[in-house]
Structures are given as C-alpha cells and as structure tokens.
Structure 1
Amino acid sequence: MVGGGFMAEVHSRAIRAARAEPAGIVSSSPERGAEAAERLGIGRAYGSLEELLADDGIDVVHVTTPNALHAEQTRAVLASGKHVVCEKPLATTVADAEGMVAAAAATGRTATVPFVYRYHPLVREARSRFATGAAGSVLSINASYLQDWLLASADDNWRVDAAQGGRSRAFADIGSHLVDLVEFVSGDRVSRVAATTRTVFTERASHSGITTEDAVAVVIETRSGAIGTLLVSQVAPGRKNRLWLEIAGTAESVAFDQEQPETLWIGRRAGTTIVPRDADQLSEDAARLCVVPSGHPQGYQEAFTAFVADTYAAVAGETPEGLPRFADGLRAVRVTDAVLDSAESGTWIEMGTHDD
C-alpha cells in the first residue's frame, strides 16, 4: 500500500476480504507509515517507496496517495515488475495518464483503477439490459453525483489544492465515476460536452486562492446521437454520496441510485417494475456479484472487494468481465479535460475517437 489515508482503509479491508494479505505500507514519512501500519493492522511500514518496491515478496501495489503523485509512483511500481491498482483520477493530465497506460502495456502487468460502482450487482443488471437490447437504443441520459462534505467554507481537504489534486476537483474526484458509469451501462461514448463550473469558496480553512470547482453542470451528446445532462457537486446539502443515473432507451428507462443500491427502477410506458438485488432474477454477470443473500443490504465495501478480487483474478491470468483498467482511467481523464476546457472556453468540446 502506498498512502495511509481514508482510501487506504477501504483498500485494506477489500484486500483481506479478497483473500490477500496486506504485507506492508509506505506513507508520506516513516512516522506516518508506522502509524498507518498500526492503525490498519499491517505488519510492516517501509521507509520509502523504493524500499517497498525492492521487496520481492510484494506482488501488487495499491496507490492511494494524492492525485498529483499517481503518475510518478505508478510508473515506478510498473518498472519494478509489480502489478498495480491506482486510485482515481488516474492522473492530473492526459499526457501523464497516457504514459501510465503505455507503461502498463510495455510491462504486461495488470493495472486497474477503482471505478468500483461498476460492481454493484444492479449496475451490471442495468448494463445487461442495454447490451442485450432489452432497453432498446439510448435516447437520453440524466445523471448526477452529489455530496455535501465541502458545503461550508470551514470544510477543507488537500483535494481543493490544484497542486495536489490537479486542475479539476469535483469532476475529477467524483464526476469521473459518473462518466464511467454512464458509458459502462449504456455501452455508448460521450462525443462532445458543453460545461459550466462554479467555485463557491475561493478561501477555505487552510487554503486560499482556490481555483478548483465545487460544482459542474455538463450537457453531453453521445456517439449514437443521444443527449444528456450531468450534474456534479460537493456542496449539495444533505447529499452524502448520491450517485444517480437514469438512461432512457427506446423500449424502457433504467434508473440506479447508489444510495439505494438494492433496487433498480425499470420504466416502461406500461408495466413499470422495481427489480430487487436477487440473484434468481438477474443476468449472469449481475448474479455473480450477489455475495449477500437477497433482503440483506449489500453496498459499497462489497463492491470494492469485488473489484479487488477481480483485479487479483486478472493477475492470475483470468479476464474478469467489466474490470476497469488503466485505459478506462485514461478515458475519464480525457473527459475531465474536455469538461474543464469547455467551461473555460464557453464552447462545445469534441471528444474525438482516441479511445477506439
């Protein structure tokens, strides 16, 4: 593990649940590394990343550090011959993200990014409905990701600092999840964007001159001709982690709410249905992710564990369905860049076809 903050805690639980052993950790200083090792129950704290990478007993490295460190640290991991899981956003620039994808390809190592909302069983069910044609062709997309943890000026975090978090904050941090989920479920690609951003507080408890955005509104068009809207905010009172999307097809609409992940809404002109997370009623790919009996809540941590387990399966030579790899992380960085470019220029930005 590289980094000892909140995401390291989430990763460490998923690592254990996926039947692996968190063997060691390195943080921003030896002292912080030792504290994180004690707090997370990890046997060894390394004094530096170089020391960790020199350990031949380490197979996979999870990078959970601030965004600006991802590219350099991940390239070092890959150069050492180890597999890597890197937190999103994959990098703070498209060029860095492209370099990371190239490094993973050159080394042949498994390299994944935790777009873990893909691992809610009912997200896979929604995806199946478009993939099989049950929902028809995509007509429109209405999606949002709302939080309130930065609602007040006294709320602060390293992510507000462009030097650590990158040019974008709200969209890179959570909008990346939203775009990934929209494209993953619909099977369609965003082709162009028109965006506007707002920075509510330029001064916070420990940061001044803040330029990163608190909220973003985006109009999108897709390659198939669908239209849609995306709203991303970290200043939405009462919304803790409300990732929601509704995709309308020619036959039915499909809606998923991450704060209520046990049901999927299927809308039809006649016969609207609520589908429960019940393996007996779901597609094969959705059913395999049902690790808790129907009627017992299954949520974020289980989704994270399933992602980590699929990563380790890929390390072992398998090809798990829907595993988000570095190419998916690069895609999100490209969309983020286009959103910020549009907001700054006041024009539509074409996405092009790089990802083909």
Structure 2
Amino acid sequence: MTTDVTAPARTIRAGFVGGGFMAAVHSRAARAAGAALAGGASSTPERARDAAARLGLQRGYDSLEQLLDADTADLDVVHVCTPNTTHAAIVRAALEAGKHVICEKPLATDARTAAELADLAAARGLVAAVPFVYRFHPMAREARALVAGGAAGRVVSVHGAYLQDWLATPGDDDWRVDPSLGGPSRAFADIGSHLVDLLEFTTGDRIARLNAVTSTVYGSRATNADIATEDLAAVVVELAGGAVGTLLVSQVAPGHKNGLVLELGGTSASVRFEQERPETLWIGRTGASQVVERDAARLSPDAARLSIVPAGHPMGYQDAFNAFVADAYSAIAGAAPDGLPTFDDGARAVRVTEAVLASAASGDWAEVAA
C-alpha cells in the first residue's frame, strides 16, 4: 500500500445515479479529482435532466440501462447515490457492465447481498468503494498512526457517539424512516456504521461481539406512521483484542448537528477525535494532556498527505470526501492508496448492523462475524 496518490493517466469519466444531496457531494468530489462528469440517471428522465443541470453533468439519461449502455462504453465509474434499498440492484448492474463503483452506504440492506456484491467486484477485478469518509480527516489518520505506533499503549477501552438532531421532533420526516426505502435499520445503518468504521479503522481491531438496545422515540411522523426503524441505539462492544466500550447513536439529540466523537483509551494515553472539531486531536496522559493541531510538518506521513492546505486553514467534510474520491480514482488508475474503504468494508458494516438489530431483538449478546 502507498500513502501517495497517483493522478490517473487519463481523465476518468464518471456517471451518477441519483440527484439529491449525496449526488451533489459526490459530483463536487469527482470534479475536484479532475473527472469528466459524463452523465446521470435518476428515478425518472425528468429528474435525471434536472440533476444534470444542477450538478453540471454532461447529460441526463432516461434510465440506468441507458447510462450503462454501449454509447457510454467509455464510462469508467458509477457513483450510486440513491435510497438504501435500491443500492444492491444498481451496483450489481454496474459491476456486470464492467464499471467501477462507488456506492453510498449501506452497500446493501442485508449481509448476504452485501457479501455477494463484494465478491462480484473482486471477481471482475473492479474497484468498488464505500464512502466511509471520516477516516479521510487528517487528524483521524493521525489517531490511527498514534495507535499503530504504540504511542497510546495497548487499547483497553473505546467510547464513541454519533449524535444528530435532524429528526428530533415528530414533525421531522424523511424517506429513510420508511423501511421500504431505508431498510430495516435507520440510525445505526445511517450513522452508526460510520462510527464503527472509524473505530475499527483507527484501532486496527474489530468488534467481536456486542449487546444493543434500540429505541423508536416517535412511532408516527409527518408522513410516516407505525414506524419500526430505530431513532437511537446504545451498544456495548467487545473488540477481538480485548478492549471494551460503549457506542451511542441518535438522530433525535437536540442541539447536535453531526456529533461524531471517538475516544480510544490506551494504557499510556487516551486519543480523542471529534468530527465537528476536525483540526485537532486530544491526547490525554496522567501527567499532562495536549491538543495536537493539524500541521502537515508535524504529522505522520498519511495524515500529512491529506493536509492539502496550510495549518490554520480549516478543512472539513467536503475535503474528506474529495480525498476519498481522489483515492478511489487513483485505485482505478492502478495505485493502491492506503485506507481506501472497499466493498469488504461496506459488507462488514452491514454485518455489524445486523448484529445490533439481532441483539436488540433478543436482549442477548450477538457475535459479529469477522
């Protein structure tokens, strides 16, 4: 693996499925990586044309089939930015058409299908990535480097939370609330998966088993009734290496916009990363604690290469997303960028989500398949 990103020898041509918020984020990242935004498809031809105009795509296609058709045989990569339950069919079609794929999480809404998609991508020799982009914040990479280098000692505890408030009142609603579009898990599949990925990425360890409680705070919302998906989840975890910890995930936490926080407790030091304060890393020690600021001259090589602006010039979510897409495109060009989240990581997230739901339903501990 390399920490360098090699620019593609030719312009990558990118297609997009979906035209909402995430398609806008993906298209900005693709443009920043130097791709040609070849076109897009959506739920209707009209929406595809509207998305093409808004996102600056070259063309809106009438259907996914047309986007993948022979007249776009030079299309390199397809970005899937549609509701959760549609991902698997779109991804399968794109892979079978020989396209590299970047798919929003969850990769699929059940573990078996997610594993099949990961296997299909591997069998076809295609780059297949899932945007667990918080691992692309430079200071998240610095936390990983500190743990890997032994600066924290042996990790014995983990504490994490991902809190949002965009569904905090019964008047707030969204397609994700509906299992037919969002799948069987909402809060955990949507944001808990990011927390778990960051935990496992920075520690280099995996959750072996867990015990979860979920809660649906509002059974009815503005347009959805008899709601079955969870608003929040509390999870006790045990890692394969022996560390234990707690995770709290909520989309009904007033005042919290995107409160992703992860603290790793080691025998020598604690390391804490906060996504809403991504320019710093807190390192706690018994004698004295310190706040490390993002400064490429003083960071590990992988963190430094993601620091694309001088210290003191804040970097944020879109920068992390841009770095993820740039690395995915460099992989398409033949490089092997370190830390690129693949379909294997996407399938892993679905397995953890299924374990959370199983534990919450049974009240017992659930094992998480490696």
Asked whether the equivalents of residues 351 and 369 of structure 2 are also in contact (C-alpha less than 8 Å), the reply is no
SS state of the match for residue 306, structure 2?
Answer: coil
Distance (whole Å) between structure 2 residues aligned to residue 6 and residue 57 of structure 1: 26
Q: Which of 197, 214, 238 is the aligned partner of 1:197?
A: 214
Deviating 4+ runs (over 3 angstroms): none
User: 2:250 corresponds to which residue?
Assistant: 233
Q: Quick check: 1:115 aligned with 2:145? A: no
| Percent pairwise identity | 61
- Amino acid across the alignment from 1:119: F
Distance (whole Å) between structure 2 residues aligned to residue 64 and residue 352 of structure 1: 27
User: 1:51 corresponds to which residue?
Assistant: 66
Q: Judge which range, 139-148 or 267-276, deviates more.
A: 267-276
Distance (whole Å) between structure 1 residues aligned to residue 58 and residue 340 of structure 2: 29
Distance (whole Å) between structure 1 residues aligned to residue 154 and residue 119 of structure 2: 34
SS state of the match for residue 256, structure 1?
Answer: strand
Unaligned 5+ residue runs, structure 2? 1-15
User: 1:72 corresponds to which residue?
Assistant: 89
Asked whether the equivalents of residues 129 and 343 of structure 2 are also in contact (C-alpha less than 8 Å), the reply is yes
User: 2:364 corresponds to which residue?
Assistant: 347
Q: Which of 216, 220, 226 is the aligned partner of 2:233?
A: 216
User: 2:13 corresponds to which residue?
Assistant: none
Q: Note the 1:20-35 alignment, pairs <5 A.
A: 20-35=35-50
Asked whether the equivalents of residues 209 and 239 of structure 2 are also in contact (C-alpha less than 8 Å), the reply is yes
Q: Which of 257, 262, 285 is the aligned partner of 1:268?
A: 285
- Amino acid across the alignment from 2:160: A
User: 1:10 corresponds to which residue?
Assistant: 25
Distance (whole Å) between structure 2 residues aligned to residue 106 and residue 94 of structure 1: 18
Q: Deviations over 1:306-355 (max 9, x none)?
A: 000000000011000000000000111000000010000000001133xx
Q: Deviations over 1:104-158 (max 9, x none)?
A: 0111100000000000000000000111111111110010000000011111111
User: 1:252 corresponds to which residue?
Assistant: 269
Q: 1:205 Cα shift?
A: 1.0
User: 2:12 corresponds to which residue?
Assistant: none
Q: Quick check: 1:285 aligned with 2:267? A: no
- Amino acid across the alignment from 1:201: Y
Provide the TM-score with structure 2 as the length reference: 0.95
- Amino acid across the alignment from 1:7: M
- Amino acid across the alignment from 2:209: R
User: 1:42 corresponds to which residue?
Assistant: 57
Distance (whole Å) between structure 1 residues aligned to residue 273 and residue 54 of structure 2: 35
Distance (whole Å) between structure 1 residues aligned to residue 84 and residue 24 of structure 2: 17
User: 1:134 corresponds to which residue?
Assistant: 151
Q: 1:270 Cα shift?
A: 1.3
Unaligned 5+ residue runs, structure 1? none
Q: Quick check: 1:63 aligned with 2:62? A: no
User: 2:9 corresponds to which residue?
Assistant: none
Count of paired positions? 353
Q: Quick check: 1:125 aligned with 2:142? A: yes
Q: Note the 1:163-178 alignment, pairs <5 A.
A: 163-178=180-195
User: 1:330 corresponds to which residue?
Assistant: 347
Q: 1:22 Cα shift?
A: 1.2
Q: 1:99 Cα shift?
A: 1.0
Provide the TM-score with structure 1 as the length reference: 0.98
Q: Quick check: 1:181 aligned with 2:181? A: no
SS state of the match for residue 65, structure 1?
Answer: coil
Q: Deviations over 1:147-191 (max 9, x none)?
A: 000011111111001111111000000000000000000111101
Distance (whole Å) between structure 2 residues aligned to residue 126 and residue 305 of structure 1: 20
SS state of the match for residue 288, structure 1?
Answer: helix
